[in-house]
Structure 1
Amino acid sequence: MPRIAEGRPAAKPSSTEQKDRHRRILRAAAHLGAEHGFDHVQMNDVAKEANVAIATLYRYFPSKVHLFTSVMRWRVGAYELEETPTVDDPAGGVADLLIRMSREMSRTPKLALAMIQGNSLSYAMGSRDSALDDERFTRIVQHAAGIAEATPDTARQIRLIVSCWFGTLVSLLNGRFSMGQAEDDIRAACALLLRPLEPDSR
């Protein structure tokens, strides 16, 4: 099992040149991941395609787990909005978002599974960098529902929706679901889980 390197925190790019190298690495990893999947991507090949020294690659991404978790965070970040939109149908808004993400990820299934594998390993090993559990992804889903400020109840609803979507996405990428079945399940989950919660009667 790939391990997260211990005692080697990932560096954060600060200068324009460093940010450019960082983006090149993410693009190279995404390209190679789409071709080969997580297990067959070599860090040396990523460095070569990104035209950076291997030491530079490891400075920003201490392991392949870090790398593909970061690719997922980068891809997920493309859906982030600066402001919360006005949404007439919260369940429909979230379903549309998750279906759009599912369609995009299903176009490059090897890359999608590589990102999921990296994210799952990161989460299992206790890293705080897991892409689907960070505040950014929660905020993206929350905004899709038109929720400016989440209560504990709505936060739980979002958590449950993300969990359902994640399972559906894995089944889609592994060929167990068709895209149509996945879309139907996503819409059903959002409709059920974003209903107003009943007051606690206990």
Structure 2
Amino acid sequence: MPRIAEARDAAAPSSTEQHARVGRILEAAAELAAENELERVQMNEVAKSAGVAVATLYRYFPSKTHLFVAVMLDQIDRMREKFARRTRPESSARDAVHDTLLQVVRALLRRPLLSAAMIQSNSMAKAAAVPDTARVDRNFRQLLYDAAGIERVTERDAALLRLLVHSVFGIIQSCLNGRITVPDAESDLRELCDLLLAEWPDSFTPAG
């Protein structure tokens, strides 16, 4: 089980060079975790693959848990950028969220070891010790708000999305563990969206 070090976020890069260095670290960690179980991914191997000193790696990411929560955040942000470039189809908000979740889940299941590493790290991390967990939750929900076209988020919307996201990660984990099949997972996603988002209108009025 990855050790959680001191309670602090990753050191924030400020220069172009530092941003590039952190990017290489995240890419190296993702590549190694896509081929090995989380327990077998060593921090010194990540540092070597990224071309940085181990001390530099730990300065940005105090533990393996910090690192893979950051990898998850990076993957979510990449998905947000990718989906933002697409033209949103004419569909209900509920269907738009379902379609987005379907693409997210399929992408995660294509790299099961990496997905397991990210989800395991994020689920075991305490928010006070690994502040990036809050950003993972917030940015993933925002991805779904964007898909639905929601600009004015009510407390009810937030509660429904929170329940939805918790359930989605449970579905993904069950699929990764071999407890359900991929078709079952996709069917469960449809049912989940239909049940939790039934009260949503076909579309939302943009903020004026």
TM-score by length of 1: 0.89
Larger mean CA deviation between 134-143 and 167-176 belongs to: 134-143
Measured after TM superposition, the shift of residue 124 of structure 1 is 7.0
Confirm or deny that 1:43 pairs with 2:47: no
Measured after TM superposition, the shift of residue 10 of structure 1 is 2.2
Deviation per CA, 1:79-127, whole angstroms, max 9, x where unpaired? 2249x96863111111111111111111111110000111112137653
Unaligned stretches of 5+ residues in structure 1: 198-202
Counterpart for residue 185 of structure 1 = 188
Deviation per CA, 1:146-194, whole angstroms, max 9, x where unpaired? 2111101111111111111111110111122221111111011001111
RMSD: 2.2
Unaligned stretches of 5+ residues in structure 2: 201-208
Which one-letter code corresponds to 1:143 in the other structure?
D
Q: Structure 1 7/166 Cα, relative in aligned 2: closer, same or farther at 3 Å?
A: closer
Measured in 2, the distance between the counterparts of 1:133 and 1:34 equals 19
Counterpart for residue 23 of structure 1 = 23
Q: Is the 8 A contact 2:72 2:136 kept in 1?
A: no
Counterpart for residue 101 of structure 2 = 98
Measured after TM superposition, the shift of residue 128 of structure 1 is 2.6
Which one-letter code corresponds to 1:89 in the other structure?
S
Measured in 2, the distance between the counterparts of 1:59 and 1:70 equals 13
Measured in 2, the distance between the counterparts of 1:65 and 1:26 equals 13
Indicate which of 137, 151, 173 corresponds to 1:148.
151
Measured after TM superposition, the shift of residue 2 of structure 1 is 2.7
Measured after TM superposition, the shift of residue 196 of structure 1 is 1.4
Q: Is the 8 A contact 2:66 2:130 kept in 1?
A: no
Which one-letter code corresponds to 1:42 in the other structure?
Q
Which one-letter code corresponds to 2:19 in the other structure?
K
Which one-letter code corresponds to 1:49 in the other structure?
S
Confirm or deny that 1:2 pairs with 2:2: yes
Which one-letter code corresponds to 1:155 in the other structure?
A
Which one-letter code corresponds to 1:40 in the other structure?
R
Larger mean CA deviation between 64-73 and 6-15 belongs to: 6-15
TM-score by length of 2: 0.87
User: What is the percent sequence identity of the aligned residues?
Assistant: 47
How many pairs were matched up? 197
Measured in 2, the distance between the counterparts of 1:85 and 1:135 equals 21
